[in-house]
Amino acid sequence: MNNSRLVYSTETGRVCPACSQPVAACRCKAASKAHPLGDGNIKVSRESKGRGGKTVTLVKGMALDADALATLGKQLRSACGSGGTVKEGVIEIQGDHCDKVMAALQKQGYQPKRVGG
């Protein structure tokens, strides 16, 4: 059994490990961005574990692609007046802003649910 695979080619440069195509022409990266990660059940929660005691508001389950999720994250961060990021289909907003996030999502037509205490 041969476990060796091409990683770099002098003709094309870096090669995708999943589909063995040049990174510029990789189809698997585009396919993973195309379908949303969420299930449509929008959950808003607050978490501080593993963050050095800092509280963040999490929005999970949004059935949006990566670009739309980043745009929504920016809108929510500006509505809360806080920083944050989008990681692996989860919007993270610095601070405890669950009520503001719930109101902003309801204003946009979503039906979020509060999860956790």
Determine the structural domain holding residue 14 and report its residue range.
1-34
14 and 49 part of one domain = no
pLDDT reading at 59 higher than 80 = yes
Taking the mean position of all CA atoms in its chain, how far away is CA 82? 17
Q: Are residues 19 and 56 in the same domain?
A: no
As a whole number of angstroms, the distance between CA 32 and CA 65 comes to 9
Give per-residue pLDDT as tens, 86-109. 988 899 999 999 999 999 999 999
Q: Which two tokens stand for residue 75?
A: 């809108």
Whether residues 4 and 39 fall in one domain: no
Residues 107 and 74 in one domain: yes
User: Looking at the structure, do residues 58 and 110 belong to the same domain, yes or no?
Assistant: yes
Confidence category of residue 28, pLDDT binned at 50, 70, 90: confident
In this structure, the answer to whether residues 48 and 95 fall within a common structural domain is yes
pLDDT at 31 over 80: no
Looking at the 3D structure of the chain, how many domains does it have? 2
Q: Give me the phi and psi of 105, to 5 degrees please.
A: -70, -40
Calpha distance 73→90 (Å, rounded): 9
pTM: 0.69
Q: In the structure encoding, which two tokens stand for residue 107, read together?
A: 């204003």
> How close are the terminal C-alpha atoms of the chain, in Å?
52
